[in-house]
């Protein structure tokens, strides 16, 4: 089966570097993206962006269109959220990633973001994948909660077939049976994706675990394992988050994650044989 996703498949040691604004995924280093689950207000986004920038993160996240399980939960600010994340990113020198939940959102998201997120629930929404690809913007493709790695790589292939080579794969947890974590963080699967594909692979420990206490160790595990980055939910006032509060970390925790990821990277570099890239 694996030879069928011919554009996404790894055929050599070559690894693709994906650029989103000033940010790079792949090719060494560990890219840290942070921000709230949902865009709530201009003030919240500005505080979050200031925190990400001060901590040393390079990209801001936040959803305008929220794919909620319950229709009674906060659905996001919709179109009105996009200018808020774009302004906060611009003010603090951060690139911006946000989700297009439907094909009808793609044009507006592309007008405001540096990267389009395709959420886990939409991983196999082919018209949405194609529409996102055609914007030419890099695509952050999240793994479906029950998707196999082959299915994920086929989803990436739909984007690549539109002539858009800039896809970042994101492991965000797969459905398990134990409620103590929201999903099962499939670190092995993420590493296997890197063996199967030349595309950068990042992790989302927030949706994978659902618990703020686990975000730091899971991010460090991904960095130590040689993956390409992490996207984490961080809120300036986590207890007030309108969405996914239990997994939101605060700015100080994010700053510590950035520092500790740097230590992990430095330790790994020290053990690299001299002269190797
Ligand atoms: C998100 O990142 O905002 C999100 C909803 O994640 P996922 O699609 O992985 O559930
Ligand atoms: Mn969330």
Quickly list DSSP for 56-122. T--EEE-BSS---SSTTS----GGGGHHHHHHHHHHTT-EEEEE--SGGGHHHHHHH-SEEEE-GGG
Is the pLDDT reported for residue 58 higher than 90?
A: yes
Is the pLDDT reported for residue 65 higher than 60?
A: yes
Length of the chain: 277
Tens-place pLDDT, residues 100-149: 999 999 999 999 999 999 999 999 999 999 999 999 999 999 999 999 99
Angle among Cα 20, 221, 149 to the nearest 5 degrees reads: 65
Q: Which residue ranges form the domains of the chain, and what is each CATH number? A: 27-67+75-271 (3.20.20.70)
Token pair belonging to 165: 């080579």
Pairing, β 115-118 against β 95-99: parallel
How many Å lie between the centroid of ligand 2 and the Cα of residue 164?
26
Q: Using 50, 70 and 90 to split pLDDT, how confident is the model at 275?
A: low
How many Å lie between the centroid of ligand 1 and the Cα of residue 266?
30
pLDDT of residue 271: 87
Q: Residue 202: exposed, middle, or buried by beta-carbon count in 10 A (0-12, 13-18, 19+)?
A: buried
Angle among Cα 160, 168, 253 to the nearest 5 degrees reads: 170
Beta bridge partners of 23: 20
Using CA positions, which residue lies closest to atom 6 of ligand 1? 119
pLDDT of residue 2: 47
Is the pLDDT reported for residue 276 higher than 60?
A: no
Is the pLDDT reported for residue 245 higher than 50?
A: yes
* 143 within ligand 1 shell (Cβ under 6 A): no
Alpha-carbon gap, residue 30 to 159, rounded angstroms: 24
Phi-psi sector, 50: left (phi>0), alpha (psi -120 to 50), beta? alpha
Tens-place pLDDT, residues 15-54: 999 999 999 999 999 999 999 999 999 999 999 999 999 9
Using CA positions, which residue lies closest to atom 3 of ligand 1? 37
How many Å lie between the centroid of ligand 2 and the Cα of residue 234?
10
| Residue range 221-234: mean pLDDT, rounded | 98
Tokens 């914007």 -> residue: 135
State how far Cα 211 lies from the chain centre: 17
Question: Which one, of 93, 89, 41, 31, lies nearest residue 64 by Cα?
Answer: 41
Helix (H) or strand (E) holding 24, with range, is strand 23-25
Alpha-carbon gap, residue 74 to 42, rounded angstroms: 17
Q: Whose atoms come closest to the Cα of 147: which ligand?
A: 1
Using CA positions, which residue lies closest to atom 9 of ligand 1? 120
Alpha-carbon gap, residue 69 to 159, rounded angstroms: 26
Q: Within 13 Å, how many C-alpha atoms sit on residue 187's CB side?
A: 13
pLDDT of residue 272: 73
Q: What is the pTM of this model?
A: 0.96
How many Å lie between the centroid of ligand 1 and the Cα of residue 3?
29
Contact 116, 135 (CB under 8 A): yes
């Amino acid at each position: 089966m694996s030879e069928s996703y011919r554009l996404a498949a790894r055929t050599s040691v070559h690894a693709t570097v994906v650029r989103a604004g000033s940010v790079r995924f792949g090719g060494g280093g560990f890219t840290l993206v942070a921000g709230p689950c949902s865009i709530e207000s201009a003030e919240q986004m500005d505080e979050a962006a200031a925190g990400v920038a001060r901590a040393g993160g390079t990209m801001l996240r936040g959803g305008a269109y929220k794919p909620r399980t319950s229709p009674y939960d906060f659905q996001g600010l919709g179109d009105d959220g996009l200018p808020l994340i774009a302004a906060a990113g611009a003010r603090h020198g951060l690139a911006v990633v946000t989700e297009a939940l439907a094909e009808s959102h793609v044009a507006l998201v592309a007008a405001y973001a540096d990267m389009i997120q395709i959420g886990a629930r939409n991983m196999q929404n082919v018209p949405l994948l194609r529409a996102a690809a055609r914007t030419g913007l890099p695509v952050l493709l999240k793994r479906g909660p029950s998707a196999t790695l082959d299915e994920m790589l086929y989803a990436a292939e739909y984007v690549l077939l539109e002539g858009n080579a800039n896809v970042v794969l994101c492991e965000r947890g797969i459905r398990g049976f134990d409620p103590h974590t929201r999903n099962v963080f499939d670190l092995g699967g993420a590493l296997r994706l890197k063996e199967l594909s030349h595309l950068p692979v990042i992790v989302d420990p927030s949706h994978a675990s659902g618990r703020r206490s686990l975000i730091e160790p899971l991010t460090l595990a991904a960095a130590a394992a040689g993956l390409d980055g992490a996207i984490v939910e961080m809120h300036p006032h986590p207890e007030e988050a309108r969405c996914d509060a239990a997994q939101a970390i605060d700015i100080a925790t994010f700053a510590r994650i950035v520092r500790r990821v740097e230590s992990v990277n430095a330790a790994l570099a020290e053990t690299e044989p001299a002269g190797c890239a």
